Chains A and B, each alone.
Chain A
C-alpha cells in the first residue's frame, strides 16, 4: 500500500514538473496535440522512385553487402531451391514456425514445427526457415512479425542459420513505405534484420555473427 502511494505520487510529481516546465497547469487536449503532430514537416522521400526491377536488384545488392546469400526463383521453384541451398550448407534438421507454406518444404530434410520449443531445444537445430512480412530494398532489411509462417522471435534467433523466403510483392524501396505497410499490425512483436548478426566492437572490424544466426540465405520469390 505504501509503495503504491509512493508510485502514484512519483507519477503525479513528474507530470507536474513537465507541465510546469512547459508553462501549463493541466493536461492537453488530444485534438490539439494531434493537429500539432500533423503539422510536422515531412519533406523526405516517402514513396518509391525506382523501376520495380531496379528495386529488387537494389535489395539483392544491399543484402549481399551485408554478407547474406540471395537467390531469386520463380514461384514454383522454391522447394527445389531450398533443397539445393540446404544440401550445399550441409543442413538436415530445420525448425519451422507454424503456418509455413507446405510447398516451400522439399522432401529429404527434417522440418520440425515449432510448438513452443524451449530455447535449449531450438539451440539443437541446424537452422530455421521462415517466410517474411516485407523487405526494404534501400537498407537491405527483412521484417518478421509474429504471424503464421514467421512465428515467435526466439525461433529465428537461437539457431545458427536462417533461411528466409521473401515474396517480391512484399519488397518496398524505402523505410517510410515499410512503416506505412506495418501500421495496421503495429501491436505485433516485430523484428527487423539486416544481414546476419554482426558486431564492430573490436577495432571497428565488422565481425559476422555474435549471438543471432551467423549465416543468412534469402530466397526471393517472383
Chain B
C-alpha cells in the first residue's frame, strides 16, 4: 500500500536494509543530501559562540516541560480556548483520526490542503481521510513528490531526499501532465507552484502539525521554508492542527532557544525562511475556525520510562539522521516507520509500546554522532542500549541465551574448546568464499547464526590455532 510505513507490518530492519544497500542510486542520493546538510550545519553552528549553552538550555526547557506536562497542557488549553480556538484530546491514533475526519466533514469540505506533518504521517491520516471521501493535497514540495510518486517519506525534514531531479521530473511529468517539463530544480519548483496555487486559493480547510505549542499564550508555532505552510495556515476558513502532547513549550520566551537551535540543526540555515505564530482565531487575519488536536498515542508510556523519557525532548530537526552512518547507508525506508534514523530507532519501538519494531534499537553502531549533534542533547546511544535490554527481557529465555550458555560450557574446558575449533574448521568449508587477496570470508551462516552474518562478514578460521603453533614452535626449538 502506498503512502504508509507501518511498523506493525514492516519487515525487520536488517532484512529491508540489505535490499536498500543494493540500491546504489538511493544510496548516492541520500549520501549527497546528508553531506550537503551536514556541511551547512557545521558552518552555521560554528558561528555560534554560545551553541553549547543553547543546547543545555534547550535540554533543560524540554525536561522541565515533560516533568510538568499536565500543567502546561491545561494552561495551553485554557489560553487557546480563551482566544477562540477549540482543543480536542486524543488518546491514540484511532481517536485522533476520528476527530480530524469529523472536523473536516463539519467544515463542509471534501478536500484539505496539508502542510508537511510527521505526526499526521505517524497516524496514517491520509488513508483515513481518503476512506472518508476527503482528498488531502500535500503542499510541501517533498511531500507532494511523495504523494504523487506513491512513495514513502524517508527523512523527518526532507522526506524526498532519496529522489534526484530526474526521478522527480518523471513523477511531475506524469502526474501533472507536463510532458515538456524541464529538469532544472527551478523548473520543478515552478511546476509545483503552478500546480498548488489553484488549490491554495480554492480549498477551504487546512490541516497542519505543530513545531511548538506555547502554553503561556495558547499559541502555535510552525517553522517552514516554502510558504506553503503560510498558505495552509492563513487562507482557509477552517484550520485543524494535530500535535503530539510533547510539542508544548512553557513560555513564549522559550522560542528564543528553539528558534536558534532548530533551523541551524535541521537545514543548516541561520533561520528558516518562515516562522508563523498564531493564537486562536483573529477576526481579521486567518481562519475563522481553529482546532487543536492534542494526541497522546503512547507518548505517556514513554514518559513513564525513566531512562527513555528523554526521547520526548526531540524537536524533530533530523540532525541525528544526517549524522548517522547507518542511516546514510540504508536511507529511511529500512526503518519501517516515518521516523527514521537514530531518533526513529528509539522513538518508533516506544510508540509501538515495544510490541513491534524490536529490531530498530539494534540498527545503530552506537558511535555517538547522533548525541553530538542533537540540539537538545538527547543521549540516543544510552536510550538505544536501554531499549535493547527491554527487548531482551520481553523475549524471555531465547535460543540465543541458550546458545550463549553452551558457548560458556565449551570455553570452560580445554578439551571441549579444541574439539569445537576442529569442528568449526570442518563445518565452515562449504561457506567460505575467497576475496581478491585470497582471504576467506563467510557472508552467510545457516539458521540462528544467520543473524550475525546479516549485518557483517566473518573471516574464515585460521588454518592453525595459536595453541597448535605454540606447541609446534617449542618442539622445533629443541
B-binding residues in A (CB < 8 A): 7, 10-11, 13-15, 17-22, 27-28, 30, 33, 36-37, 40-46, 62, 66, 116, 119-120, 123, 136, 138-141, 146, 152-154, 157-158, 175-176, 178-180, 182-183, 186-205, 207, 209-213
A189-B282, A212-B230 known; A43 vs B300 contact (CB < 8 Å): no
Q: Nearest-CB distance from B68 to chain A (Å)?
A: 5
The answer, among B57, B216, B225, B227, for a CB contact under 8 Å with A44, is B57
C-alpha gap A148/B72 in the complex (Å): 33
Q: How many A-B residue pairs have CB under 8 A?
A: 252
Say whether A175 contacts B256, CB under 8 Å: yes
- Provide a sorted-by-A list of 25 A–B residue pairs whose CB atoms are within 8 angstroms: A14-B245, A17-B296, A18-B73, A27-B70, A27-B71, A28-B70, A30-B71, A37-B64, A45-B50, A146-B282, A153-B286, A175-B259, A175-B260, A176-B256, A182-B252, A187-B83, A191-B274, A192-B274, A197-B225, A197-B226, A199-B189, A200-B158, A211-B193, A211-B228, A212-B230
C-alpha gap A141/B279 in the complex (Å): 21
Say whether A152 contacts B230, CB under 8 Å: no
Say whether B88 contacts A7, CB under 8 Å: yes
Say whether B60 contacts A41, CB under 8 Å: yes
Say whether A191 contacts B230, CB under 8 Å: yes
In this assembly, does B178 line the interface, its C-beta being within 8 Å of a C-beta of chain A? Answer: no
Most chain B beta-carbon contacts within 10 A, residue among A22, A27, A138, A180: A22
Mark contacts of B150-188 with chain A using CB atoms, 8 A cut-off: 1 yes-contact digit, 0 otherwise.
000000001011001100100000000000000001101
Q: Nearest-CB distance from B392 to chain A (Å)?
A: 23
Say whether B252 contacts A186, CB under 8 Å: yes
The answer, among A14, A41, A138, for a CB contact under 8 Å with B296, is A14
Residues on the A chain within 8 Å of B192, using CB: 210
Residues on the A chain within 8 Å of B391, using CB: none
C-alpha gap A46/B57 in the complex (Å): 12
Residues on the B chain within 8 Å of A178, using CB: 256
Say whether A139 contacts B276, CB under 8 Å: no
In this assembly, does B253 line the interface, its C-beta being within 8 Å of a C-beta of chain A? Answer: yes
Say whether B227 contacts A157, CB under 8 Å: yes
In this assembly, does B37 line the interface, its C-beta being within 8 Å of a C-beta of chain A? Answer: yes
C-alpha gap A207/B227 in the complex (Å): 13
A43-B57, A153-B230, A205-B185 known; A212 vs B201 contact (CB < 8 Å): no
Residues on the B chain within 8 Å of A176, using CB: 256
Residues on the A chain within 8 Å of B60, using CB: 40-41
Known: A18-B300, A187-B83. 6 other contacts (CB 8 A): A17-B303, A44-B53, A146-B282, A199-B141, A201-B140, A211-B197
Q: Nearest-CB distance from A155 to chain B (Å)?
A: 9
Q: Nearest-CB distance from B334 to chain A (Å)?
A: 21
Interface residues of B in 128-146 (CB under 8 A from A): 139-142, 145
Closest to B201 in A: A119
Residues on the A chain within 8 Å of B219, using CB: 186-187
Say whether B271 contacts A141, CB under 8 Å: yes
C-alpha gap A10/B245 in the complex (Å): 13
C-alpha gap A205/B185 in the complex (Å): 7
Say whether B57 contacts A22, CB under 8 Å: no
C-alpha gap A7/B103 in the complex (Å): 14
Q: Nearest-CB distance from B102 to chain A (Å)?
A: 8
A-binding residues in B (CB < 8 A): 29, 32-33, 36-37, 49-50, 53-54, 56-57, 60-61, 64, 67-74, 83, 88-91, 95, 139-142, 145, 158, 160-161, 164-165, 168, 185-186, 188-189, 192-193, 196-197, 200-201, 214, 216-217, 219, 225-228, 230-231, 233-235, 245, 250-253, 255-257, 259-260, 263, 267, 269-279, 282, 284-286, 294, 296, 300, 303-304, 309
Closest to A197 in B: B227
Closest 3 CB pairs of A and B: A212-B227, A17-B300, A139-B271
Residues on the A chain within 8 Å of B160, using CB: 201
Residues on the B chain within 8 Å of A213, using CB: 227
Say whether A179 contacts B255, CB under 8 Å: yes
Q: Nearest-CB distance from B275 to chain A (Å)?
A: 4
The answer, among B32, B196, B214, for a CB contact under 8 Å with A203, is B32
Say whether B37 contacts A146, CB under 8 Å: no
Say whether A186 contacts B217, CB under 8 Å: yes
Q: Nearest-CB distance from A129 to chain B (Å)?
A: 18
Residues on the A chain within 8 Å of B216, using CB: 186
Residues on the B chain within 8 Å of A207, using CB: 185-186, 189
Say whether A154 contacts B57, CB under 8 Å: no
Say whether A192 contacts B271, CB under 8 Å: yes
Closest to B57 in A: A42
The answer, among B33, B57, B214, B273, for a CB contact under 8 Å with A40, is B57
C-alpha gap A116/B284 in the complex (Å): 8
A140-B271, A211-B193 known; A41 vs B57 contact (CB < 8 Å): yes
Q: Nearest-CB distance from A124 to chain B (Å)?
A: 11
Q: Nearest-CB distance from B144 to chain A (Å)?
A: 9
Say whether B250 contacts A37, CB under 8 Å: yes
Say whether B74 contacts A15, CB under 8 Å: yes
The answer, among B95, B235, B255, B285, for a CB contact under 8 Å with A189, is B285
C-alpha gap A17/B234 in the complex (Å): 35
C-alpha gap A116/B283 in the complex (Å): 11
C-alpha gap A194/B267 in the complex (Å): 14
Residues on the A chain within 8 Å of B53, using CB: 41-44
A189-B285, A199-B189, A211-B231 known; A153 vs B276 contact (CB < 8 Å): yes
C-alpha gap A202/B33 in the complex (Å): 9
Say whether A11 contacts B253, CB under 8 Å: no
C-alpha gap A196/B256 in the complex (Å): 22
Say whether B286 contacts A211, CB under 8 Å: no
Residues on the B chain within 8 Å of A205, using CB: 185
Closest to A49 in B: B49
The answer, among A27, A62, A152, A157, for a CB contact under 8 Å with B270, is A62
Say whether B300 contacts A14, CB under 8 Å: yes
C-alpha gap A208/B78 in the complex (Å): 40
Residues on the A chain within 8 Å of B32, using CB: 203-204
A198-B225, A212-B227 known; A18 vs B69 contact (CB < 8 Å): yes
C-alpha gap A11/B158 in the complex (Å): 33
Residues on the A chain within 8 Å of B275, using CB: 190-192
